[in-house]
Protein backbone atom coordinates (compact mmCIF):
# COMPACT_ATOMS: atom_id res chain seq x y z
CA UNK A 1 0.00 0.00 0.00
CA UNK A 2 1.41 3.33 -1.00
CA UNK A 3 -0.63 5.68 1.20
CA UNK A 4 -2.61 5.14 4.34
CA UNK A 5 -4.58 7.61 6.41
CA UNK A 6 -1.43 8.56 8.26
CA UNK A 7 0.14 12.01 7.88
CA UNK A 8 3.55 10.45 8.50
CA UNK A 9 3.32 8.99 4.98
CA UNK A 10 3.61 12.46 3.41
CA UNK A 11 7.45 12.49 3.37
CA UNK A 12 7.44 9.08 1.65
CA UNK A 13 5.12 10.34 -1.06
CA UNK A 14 7.20 13.50 -1.53
CA UNK A 15 10.32 11.34 -1.89
CA UNK A 16 8.60 9.12 -4.46
CA UNK A 17 7.31 12.09 -6.43
CA UNK A 18 10.80 13.64 -6.57
CA UNK A 19 12.32 10.36 -7.72
CA UNK A 20 9.58 10.00 -10.36
CA UNK A 21 10.25 13.51 -11.62
CA UNK A 22 13.99 12.79 -11.90
CA UNK A 23 13.25 9.64 -13.93
CA UNK A 24 10.91 11.55 -16.23
CA UNK A 25 13.62 14.14 -16.90
CA UNK A 26 16.22 11.41 -17.52
CA UNK A 27 13.91 9.60 -19.94
CA UNK A 28 13.03 12.85 -21.70
CA UNK A 29 16.72 13.65 -22.28
CA UNK A 30 17.43 10.13 -23.47
CA UNK A 31 14.54 10.15 -25.95
CA UNK A 32 15.30 13.68 -27.15
CA UNK A 33 18.99 12.88 -27.61
CA UNK A 34 18.17 9.76 -29.56
CA UNK A 35 15.75 11.62 -31.82
CA UNK A 36 18.13 14.53 -32.37
CA UNK A 37 20.80 12.10 -33.63
CA UNK A 38 18.90 9.23 -35.26
CA UNK A 39 16.18 11.06 -37.19
CA UNK A 40 18.57 13.26 -39.21
CA UNK A 41 20.76 10.21 -39.89
CA UNK A 42 17.76 8.22 -41.10
CA UNK A 43 16.69 11.18 -43.25
CA UNK A 44 20.07 11.14 -44.98
CA UNK A 45 21.53 14.43 -43.75
CA UNK A 46 25.02 12.92 -43.75
CA UNK A 47 24.51 10.76 -46.87
CA UNK A 48 26.81 12.92 -49.03
CA UNK A 49 29.66 11.89 -46.70
CA UNK A 50 28.71 8.21 -46.75
CA UNK A 51 26.91 8.10 -43.40
CA UNK A 52 23.43 6.69 -43.73
CA UNK A 53 21.27 4.92 -41.18
CA UNK A 54 19.43 2.04 -42.80
CA UNK A 55 15.81 1.43 -41.77
CA UNK A 56 16.72 -1.89 -40.13
CA UNK A 57 19.40 -0.28 -37.96
CA UNK A 58 17.03 2.59 -37.15
CA UNK A 59 14.38 0.10 -36.01
CA UNK A 60 16.88 -1.70 -33.77
CA UNK A 61 18.06 1.58 -32.26
CA UNK A 62 14.49 2.71 -31.65
CA UNK A 63 13.74 -0.58 -29.90
CA UNK A 64 16.89 -0.21 -27.83
CA UNK A 65 15.89 3.33 -26.90
CA UNK A 66 12.48 2.10 -25.75
CA UNK A 67 14.07 -0.65 -23.66
CA UNK A 68 16.48 1.81 -22.01
CA UNK A 69 13.63 4.16 -21.10
CA UNK A 70 11.55 1.28 -19.70
CA UNK A 71 14.44 -0.12 -17.65
CA UNK A 72 15.23 3.35 -16.32
CA UNK A 73 11.61 3.76 -15.23
CA UNK A 74 11.71 0.37 -13.50
CA UNK A 75 14.61 1.59 -11.39
CA UNK A 76 12.04 3.57 -9.41
CA UNK A 77 11.38 0.34 -7.55
CA UNK A 78 14.71 0.87 -5.79
CA UNK A 79 13.59 4.14 -4.20
CA UNK A 80 13.56 3.85 -0.45
CA UNK A 81 10.26 4.94 1.00
Residue 3 lies in a domain: no
pTM summary value: 0.69
Residue 9 lies in a domain: no
CA distances (Å), origin 56, targets 23, 50, 53, 59: 29, 17, 8, 5
**What's the structural domain count of the chain?**
1
The confidence band for 40, taking pLDDT boundaries of 50, 70 and 90, is confident
Residues 6+ apart with CB under 8 A from 31: 65, 69
Residue 7 lies in a domain: no
Residue 40 lies in a domain: yes
Residue 68 lies in a domain: yes
Residue 5 lies in a domain: no
Residue 22 lies in a domain: yes
Residue 4 lies in a domain: no
pLDDT tens track for 4-38: 778 888 888 888 899 999 999 998 998 888 888 88
Question: 40 is in which domain, residue-wise?
Answer: 18-44+52-78
Amino acid sequence: MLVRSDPRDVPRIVNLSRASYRKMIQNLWWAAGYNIVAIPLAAGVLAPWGVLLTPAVGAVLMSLSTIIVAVNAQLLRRVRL
